Amino acid sequence: MSKNKKTTIEVQGIEIAVLSANEKDFICLTDIARSKNSGYPDAR
């Protein structure tokens, strides 16, 4: 069993969370959405 690891990367000046679990990486889509509209990341 592997341990989950949370890190961040910076892309075009935006901090994005990355979770590594079971040899797979997952990025936080909410962090990316916040870069477009910080008040309402779920808005289109």
Domain residue ranges in the chain: 5-36
Residue 44: the pLDDT is 61
DSSP assignment string, 2-37 = PPPEEEEEEETTEEEEEEEETTEEEE-HHHHHHHH-
**pLDDT tens-digit profile of 1-41?**
568 899 999 998 999 999 999 999 999 998 888 887 767 66
The tokens for 29 are 């889509």
Residue 37: the pLDDT is 72
Residue 19: the pLDDT is 95
Residue 35: the pLDDT is 82
Residue 34: the pLDDT is 85
Phi, psi values for residue 36, rounded to 5°: -85, -40
Residue 26: the pLDDT is 95
